[in-house]
Chain A
Amino acid sequence: MTITKKRKATQGNFLTSTQELNCATIAAHRNTRPVKSSTSIRGSLAGLALLVGHQAVALAESPTSIFSTLSTPAHETNSIGLFVVIICTAIFAVVAALLGYAFWRFRAGNSDEHEPAQVFGSMQIELSWTIIPVLIVVVLFLATARTLFSIQDAPKPANALNITAVGHQYWWEYHYPEYGIVTANELHIPVATGNGGRVTYIKLTSADVIHSFWVPQLGGKTDMLPNRVNEMWWDPQKAGVYVGQCGQYCGAQHAKMLLRVYVDTPEQFAAWVAGQRKQQTELVADVVDSTSEAVNPSVGQKVFEQQSCINCHAVQGTVANGRFGPDLTHLMSRDTLGAGAIQNTPENLKAWVEDPQQFKPGCLMPAMHLTNKQNLQITAYLQTLK
């Protein structure tokens, strides 16, 4: 199955496409483990655990499993995580076995009147179970520190793609300074491997409260704080759609602050960029006035621009330049509406414009109480924003 086909599948079958993709990527990933970590004992142990983890996760078929990793930061966190899981499981097995043995072996008999021998302590034994944990801690710490520094302080490649992501109450805003693009909710980045591949560096900040940017298959989460910029990076190994969601409680609709990341091949990405750079225009052609009965994009645009829509939304190249809500310039290039809350179909779009609160109660776009005709007109216009 080629990537393009997968992307089609995504659009056609919103709910299951990511699952499909996930199975495929898990399978592919088994053969493409990074060479680096298999050189050490830690690495091979982790590799073993990774396999076990993969089996378990393949069962659950979750597109957000932290075990089906598709970029270096996610691989590395995963390896260290599984290494720790193995050590902890071993400790658990030993101690739980001892406890279980003691529970069983030393249970009181029925007719036993005598108190058992009283033992008050033993220096040697106690020293041993102090020193052994200290050694384990040292090992775990060193292993963690290595991963930690290698991810967090990785040098940025010169050709990295820089993006700024801004968290808003219940949606995401993206800036691509290199291309002068502003978009929302659905992030497009290039795959990092192969010819023309690029690593993506994302600066994270927030316009209101704390959010957290989390796409498990690509890496751990990083918080978005107002008045502060954090940075993280991904080097996706495989094209596809990856999902995640806001990881820090941010208010009423935290649950529907979903994330979709489209990892494109270099060609797809270039095409997408070209599309996003196009400006829209004022469609003056057949406009009579905004009270017109006709349902067409030009009338729709006038209605849109005469409502308060444009206080909150921008359509680049037109008078609409609001910044409170998502940029709508290329709305129709998105698969979903409302930060992944619903699929972007004409019916859903109209229903959203009528009353977004039916999909995301508590979200910051109010129901506009327009007439059905006006909604149809606006929807007709929005559908031209390709």
Chain B
Amino acid sequence: MGSQTYPVAGGLQTETAPSRHGYLEEIHSWIVTVDHKKLGIMYIVYALLFLVIGGLEAILMRIQLAAPGLHFLEPQTFNRMFTMHGTTMVFLVGMMILFGFGNYLVPLMIGARDMAFPRLNAFSFWMSALAGILLYFSFIGGNGLAGTGTAPDMGWFAYAPLTEKAFSPGHTTDYWTIALLANGIGSIGTSINILATVFCMRTKGMTLMRMPMLPWLYATMSFLTLLAISPLTAAQAMLMIDRYLGGHFFDTQAGGSAILWAHFFWIFGHPEVYVLVLPAFGMASEIIPVFSRKAIFGYPAMVAASVSIGFISLGVWAHHMFTIGLTSYGNAFFTLSTMLVGVPTGIKLFNWLATLWGGKIQYRPPMMFAAAYLIQFLIAGLTGIMLSVSAWDWQLHNSYFVVAHFHYVLVGAIVFMLFSALYYWYPKMTGRMLDEKLAKWHFWLFLIGFHLTFDLMHIPGLLGMPRWIYTYEADRGWGTLNLLISIGGVIQGIAVLIFVYNMVHSYFKGELAGPDPWDAWTLEWATASPPPSYNFATDPVVGSRRPLWDLKHPDDPDSAFE
């Protein structure tokens, strides 16, 4: 392997990246680019920047909570930190980095030269980027430029009527709202783009059922994004009407409804969780087979499971509202629909397990993270089932058990998979390998920190600790646990810094990767690393799900089995 590039069905020529321009020209080329690869990288870098910021906010909160009754942060500052942390991590880190990978990988994996609408793509990126700037500008502008800096403090799900003028004067809520509107427009643009790309831009021979799993999952995710972001955008518009035009959709003092916002928010918010996790499924479904040296097990079932997760997830939102006073029938319905998500999710997990079974697993950095992902995702799924038991959720809802559960999903599954994906595709994006020794440090530290924090975090929840509190009483028995949780948070922070260092260091000093460093099977590895701006000199023609396998094993091609 290594330096050789694989022509796919008919003399594909590849070139190395174009030679370097001047410094300013280089920057200019990034700003005006409509190239899906450059946009993808910009998304990822932008998201990683915010990952560090959001992480810092988390660390500040963890210091404050390390012992009962601390005065490290003011109450109001703490409230701002969790609002900003949540909003940042979901919208500026999660969405952005996943769209980044989608942008970069989907066209390459389906053998296209770019996304279906390159200009829309650039527009979407800049809209989403604007959202981050707007949100963080609220630190300066929230109470007017001359006043002291501030930031939104109504929690990332911004329950009405706390967001109404009467309870949230000033402009911080407005920055939050407008930031989410801008981000939503960007997300909708990208979703349309990904859907159009997947359905219209596939190369010759790539039927839908020959498409790799990752584009499938991105298609499902984009479909969900379209359906989920719209209610959020509508709700934001209504909130602005309430705040500035005398509306009272959510203004309970004028007869508005607080539950209405909750419905709007969660009919966005729950599918949003799947919007974030589906791409991670896609990455796992690419990386696990390559490092097990086996084809993905049960591809049709995997596709069906992904799509059905997408559909079912549209009908589960009120499991965030079991305590809000639904009828018993309402609670029962959402219990059942939520539990049902477990079935296709289980199918996915078992199929990954079967992919490992009988393979020859190579524990390179991407696979280390993917292995941890499998176990952690299993746990996250099971605590999810526990929370779906509406009667028990009356106790667990809004407790640290829930915080632990969704961090298990977001960090234990999604962030682990993102690290895996970064180790896996970084060589494609930059042409250089990430350092493996640092990767091991990163992996083990992050793993230990993660489990210290989030395993233990379930327990204070069971002991009645609600979320969003800036301090707690000493007699509750939560102190020791919280101290350990905080220590775990710091360890994770150190691990991430090692990773950031590795990314920068390897960009200049890393070992050259060559087009196909992992001996993989999908089309992105058929072109140079980094790929030329046109991706493929000629349209590749594929005859199976693993075109590069067919090329490498002409005696035993997949195409013979389809």
Contacts and interface: CB of A to CB of B under 8 A. Distances in A.
Interface in A129-161: 129-130, 133-134, 137, 140-141, 144-145, 147-149, 151-153
A225 B159 CA distance: 11
A98 interface: yes
Given A222-B394, A225-B258, A126 B464 contact: no
B475 interface: yes
A291 to B, nearest CB: 37
Query: Interface residues of B toward A: which range?
Result: 35 or more
Contacts of B462: 57, 65-67
A20 to B, nearest CB: 10
Nearest to A230: B325
Contact of A220 (B162, B298, B363, B395): B395
Nearest to B253: A226
A249 B363 CA distance: 44
Query: Interface residues of A toward B: which range?
Result: 35 or more
Nearest to A128: B350
B361 A60 contact: no
Contacts of A151: 391
B87 to A, nearest CB: 14
Nearest to B561: A120
Given A80-B391, A148-B335, A226-B252, A95 B297 contact: no
Nearest to B562: A120
Interface in B464-515: 464-478
Interface in A73-130: 74, 76-78, 80-81, 84-85, 88, 91-92, 95-96, 98-99, 102-103, 106-109, 112, 115-122, 125-126, 129-130
B298 A148 contact: no
Interface stretch (B199-207, B233-241, B336-344, B435-443): B336-344
Interface in A192-221: 208-210, 212, 214, 216, 219-221
B357 A102 contact: yes
A57 B463 contact: yes
Contact of B357 (A106, A228, A245): A106
B266 to A, nearest CB: 13
A101 to B, nearest CB: 9
Given A64-B463, A120-B561, A148-B335, A106 B356 contact: yes
Contact of A99 (B301, B360, B375, B474): B375
B299 interface: yes
Interface centre among B383, B466, B476 (most CB of A within 10 A): B466
Given A81-B392, A99-B378, A230-B325, A141 B469 contact: no
Contacts of A66: 395-396, 462-464
Nearest to B164: A209
- Per CB-CB distance, the 9 closest pairs between chain A and chain B, nearest first, are A220-B394, A64-B464, A62-B477, A255-B469, A81-B392, A230-B325, A226-B252, A121-B298, A62-B463
9 contacts: A66-B463, A74-B395, A78-B395, A81-B395, A118-B556, A119-B295, A137-B340, A137-B343, A251-B162
Interface of A: 15-16, 18-19, 57, 60-67, 74, 76-78, 80-81, 84-85, 88, 91-92, 95-96, 98-99, 102-103, 106-109, 112, 115-122, 125-126, 129-130, 133-134, 137, 140-141, 144-145, 147-149, 151-153, 169, 208-210, 212, 214, 216, 219-223, 225-228, 230, 243-256, 258, 361-362
Given A106-B292, A148-B332, 8 more contacts: A84-B386, A108-B362, A118-B556, A137-B343, A227-B256, A252-B76, A254-B469, A255-B472
Interface of B: 74-76, 79, 153-155, 159, 161-162, 167, 252-253, 255-259, 292-295, 297-301, 323-325, 327-328, 331-332, 335-336, 339-340, 342-343, 346-347, 349-351, 353-354, 356-363, 371, 374-375, 378-379, 382-383, 385-386, 389-399, 459, 462-478, 553, 556, 558, 561
